[in-house]
Structure 1
């Protein structure tokens, strides 16, 4: 099981990032594919358009947003694709475009993935 970290897409890609996965639904403004240095783009793992618009990156709504986003993730088959990527690599960096480095969907997604991997590790194999 690999580690999961998050990083803004506008920060330079580094060799220590491991596999870089864009987890935004929309392509980041002004970013070229070369500069983004991504292995893949999993837009379906991002919050729904409705949830993203409702939240509007309002810090006062973040706790409620995080709960709603986790509920979406529970029902989202794209999470399985992302979990498979994380399991296959020593380090996965979830890349996002939001300005706030702590109040963003990638932070919630990272926490969700880490918990899902821990839960799976504790579940005995059938």
Structure 2
């Protein structure tokens, strides 16, 4: 009985030690979630919009992406990320570059900000990770 009581106390101490540790910050540079990201909502210059410019994109583990816009136009290329930004660079075609500021990134949610300076336009995307089971 005394031995069982000691084991319970040790187990309690171990559990309390783990509950006091701070979780590691989730960042794009360390652990960007691969897979399909779908736009849940987007804002242009602070106003909610009904249709989306970008519908979804898929980030692959090998550094490639597939992006589909609202007109079902398909872009593909490579992606890179830092702590605060995500860059999608199209391969071939017009070699278009999509630069996003990462406002928030979690395992299943992302908030991206895109500024298009020639048009004085700011677009904010609220995104959901849609197929976590496949990646």
Do they superpose with TM above 0.5? no
How high is the TM-score relative to the length of structure 2? 0.24
From the two aligned structures, give the one with the greater helix fraction. Answer: 1
Q: Report the TM-score, using the length of structure 1 for normalisation.
A: 0.25
Structure of greater relative contact order (alpha carbons < 8 Å, 6+ residues apart): 1
State which structure, 1 or 2, has the greater radius of gyration over its C-alpha atoms: 2
Q: Which structure carries more strand by proportion?
A: 2
